[in-house]
Amino acid sequence: MLSFLQQPWHWSIAGVLIGLTVPTLLLLGNKYFGISANLRHICAACLPANIPFFQYDWKKEIWNLFFIGGVFVGGFIAAHFLQNPEPIQIAAATKATLEMQGIHEFTGLIPNDLFSFASLGTIRGFIIIVLGGFLVGFGTRYAGGCTSGHAIMGLSDLQIPSLIATICFMIGGFVMTWFGLPFILNL
């Protein structure tokens, strides 16, 4: 059983379990699945600074902060008790492309030569970690949701605005991967 859990899970299993999060949250307490809203709740709780966008009762949304606390714990459990002993399998073409772009470590879930405090001091590491994070936070709020709120919850509820947002997420990702990253990763 444990060895079954330790190997990487098939996309269909993951897809079913993530999809089931939608009715689970709705039926547990009328909660709408959406993770990026937590970044707003953190702003509202810590630094509202009289900005109208952060003037609301964030404590009413505290369930969502519990949810992401759980996600953090889940990450810990998976990495320490259910870890895959094998290196991650990466598509050969992607591996070749990334090697040309100066990525050399392919063992963990994220490349150590890009996501480390040493890398944070380099131009490319700073852009990826700091600017990348900023764009994630700014973009999700501007779009009114992220992959969970729009792509999964919104599409499950057949919302056209969520379809538009999801298409734009993908276009943005393709543009960055094909035209931005080859430049940034070689800095």
Partner 1 sequence: MANQNEGFVCETPNHSGNKESILSNLKYAIVGMFFGIVFVKAEIVSWFRIQEMFQLTSFHMYGVIGTAVVVGAISVFLIKKFNIQTISGEKVRFHPKQFHKGQIYGGLIFGFGWAMTGACPGPLFAQIGTGAAVVVVTLLSAIAGTWVYGFLRDKLPH
Residues 58-97 that bind partner 1 (CB under 8 A): 60-64, 66-79, 82, 84, 88, 90-91, 93-94, 97
Structure tokens at 185: 């990763």
Least spacing, CB of residue 54 vs partner 1, in Å: 5
Least spacing, CB of residue 167 vs partner 1, in Å: 7
Assess 119 for contact with partner 1 (CB under 8 A). Answer: yes
64 neighbors 71 (Cβ within 8 angstroms):
no
Single residue of 1, 85, 86, 175 touching partner 1 by CB under 8 A: 175
Distance between CA 44 and CA 55 in Å, rounded? 7
Single residue of 1, 2, 52, 85 touching partner 1 by CB under 8 A: 52
Query: Cα(first)–Cα(last) distance of the chain, in Å?
Result: 45
Assess 14 for contact with partner 1 (CB under 8 A). Answer: yes
Single residue of 174, 183, 186, 187 touching partner 1 by CB under 8 A: 174
Assess 28 for contact with partner 1 (CB under 8 A). Answer: yes
Distance between CA 60 and CA 148 in Å, rounded? 20
- Token pair 């949304």: residue: 61
Contact positions with partner 1 (CB under 8 A) in 121-160: 127-160
Assess 45 for contact with partner 1 (CB under 8 A). Answer: no
60 neighbors 179 (Cβ within 8 angstroms):
no
Q: Which is nearer to partner 1, 164 or 186 (CB)?
A: 164
Q: For residue 180, give Cα distances in angstroms to 20, 94, 127.
A: 35, 16, 11
Q: Count Cβ atoms below 10 Å from residue 139 Cβ, excluding itself.
A: 15
Single residue of 100, 180, 186, 187 touching partner 1 by CB under 8 A: 180
